[in-house]
Amino acid sequence: MEEDNKGVPPPEGDGSREASPPVNIVESPKVGSSSGETSRTEKSVAVAVQGGGKKTPPPPAPVEPDPEDEEEEGMLRMSFMEHLEELRNRILKAVYGLAVAFVFALVFAGKLWDIISDPAVEALKHLGVNPPHLVILTPMEGFSVIWVELPLLCSVFLASPWIVYQLWAFISPGLYKRERRWALPFVLLTAGLFIAGGLFAYFLAFRFGLEFLLGIGITNGVTPMVSITEYFDLFVNVTLGVGLVFELPVLIFLLTLLRILSPRFLLRHSRYAILVIVIIAAIVTPTPDVFNLMLFAIPMCALYFVGIFFSYLLVLKREGKSFPWKQAIRLVVIILLIFAAIYGIFTYFHLQVHRNWPYITR
């Protein structure tokens, strides 16, 4: 018996080599045609590795949706003809608001003319012209200026918030949801700057310019006789021109909102912007003197940098950053206190500034 067993190979699994992992064979029936009969049986092999086998890789992490993609879903998609129809509707609504404001201004046309003609009356009084009144050269001047053109000009300023809102409603469907939240600040700031520009022209720019122009002719022995048409045309040009110029911060902010301009680009090319501003001020200014030119150019340059500041705040909000308001307010307060202290010293000691040495005297 021992001799017979010598030629038999040892059985597997005696420790001479590792055992292969077990194999489970699972039979899964496959349903055949729609008649419900089983056509055939397919065997599927599932290998279960026990001990020392490779682990199955974990499933990939779920991809988080892009917030910009989610916001793009809220954008309104319109064809070219739908855009034209929307533009037509917004223009009609703006015209309706302008018509309502025109009727309201027409009721107070007489009082409004007293306010509009006040700069001319004051300038003529200062120049010693007697009587200090405007004149009518044609029969239709009084009606066309006082009862048509003047209410129309006032209605533009009165209806400016409604007109700006219609503009925003037209462009807002193409903006992100978070950018549509700027609707109320955009309307208030745009209309407010336009009205502020008109007030600046009425109380400062137009009064100084008109008196300067009338004074030049009087020095040569010429008696001024200003018609209400020429006077009102000059008033409209200056008032609307300055009102539109005061929209510069809103224009810069809107271009930044649409990702056309950036604060860095505006600062880098600020010298060219200042040159363009001076040229525009020279066109809008009713007089050729440097004083009135600077009276227009300096506020326009200030508004340009204010627009850059607002666009910078917009870029910071896009990047998830915050502006250091506490440090900025502290710096502004310190500067105001320094100017207040200098003004108090000059007022208390009755000091005056001169061009020559010692420059400051009592």
Q: Which residue in this structure is represented by tokens 């223009």?
A: 91
61/211: higher pLDDT? 211
Question: Looking at 62-76, 104-118, 319-333, which range is the least confident one?
Answer: 62-76
What is the residue-averaged pLDDT of the chain? 78
pLDDT at 203 over 70: yes
Q: Are 262 and 256 in contact (CB under 8 A)?
A: yes
Residues 223-265 pLDDT 10s: 788 899 999 999 998 899 889 889 999 899 888 887 888 999 9
**β-bridge mates for residue 47, sequence order:** 23
Task: Judge whether residue 57 has pLDDT over 70.
Answer: no
Closest by Cα among 225, 180, 216 to 288: 216
Say yes or no to pLDDT of 175 above 80: no
What pLDDT shows up at residue 49?
A: 43
Name the least confident of 203-212, 226-235, 281-290, 296-305: 281-290
- Rounded to an integer, the average pLDDT of 53-58 is 56
| Portion of the chain with pLDDT greater than 90, in percent | 30
Task: Tell whether the model's pLDDT for residue 18 goes beyond 50.
Answer: no
pLDDT at 41 over 70: no
150, pLDDT greater than 60 = yes
Dihedrals phi, psi of 40, to nearest 5 degrees: -160, 170
Provide the pLDDT for residue 45.
41
The number of beta carbons lying within 10 Å of the beta carbon of residue 281 is 23
* Res 23 pLDDT > 60: no
Query: Residue 83: its pLDDT value, please?
Result: 78
This prediction's pTM: 0.68
pLDDT at position 360 is 79
Average pLDDT over residues 123-127: 86
Residues 6+ positions from 245 with CB-CB distance below 8 Å: 197, 280, 281, 284, 296, 300, 303
Over residues 294-301, the mean pLDDT reads 86
Question: What integer pLDDT is reported at residue 361 of this predicted model?
Answer: 78
List alpha helices for 74-140, DSSP H.
Answer: 80-107, 109-116, 118-126
pLDDT at site 272: 93
Please compute the mean of the pLDDT values over residues 24-45 and round it to a whole number.
Answer: 44
Q: How confident is the model at residue 78 (pLDDT cuts 50, 70, 90)?
A: low
Q: Is the pLDDT of residue 72 over 60?
A: no
Percentage of residues of the chain with pLDDT beyond 70: 75
Coil, helix or strand at residue 262: coil
Name the least confident of 52-61, 182-191, 302-311: 52-61
pLDDT for 158 equals: 94
- Whether 164 contacts 250, CB under 8 Å: no
Q: What pLDDT score does 219 carry?
A: 67
Average pLDDT of the residues in 26-55:
45
State residue 98's pLDDT score: 95
pLDDT for position 245: 87
pLDDT band at 173 (very low <50, low <70, confident <90, very high): confident
Confidence of residue 33 (pLDDT cuts 50, 70, 90): very low
Rounded to an integer, the average pLDDT of 266-277 is 91
pLDDT, position 220: 66
* Mean pLDDT confidence for 59-69: 54
CA dist 151 → 105, 155, 278, 294 (Å): 5, 6, 31, 31
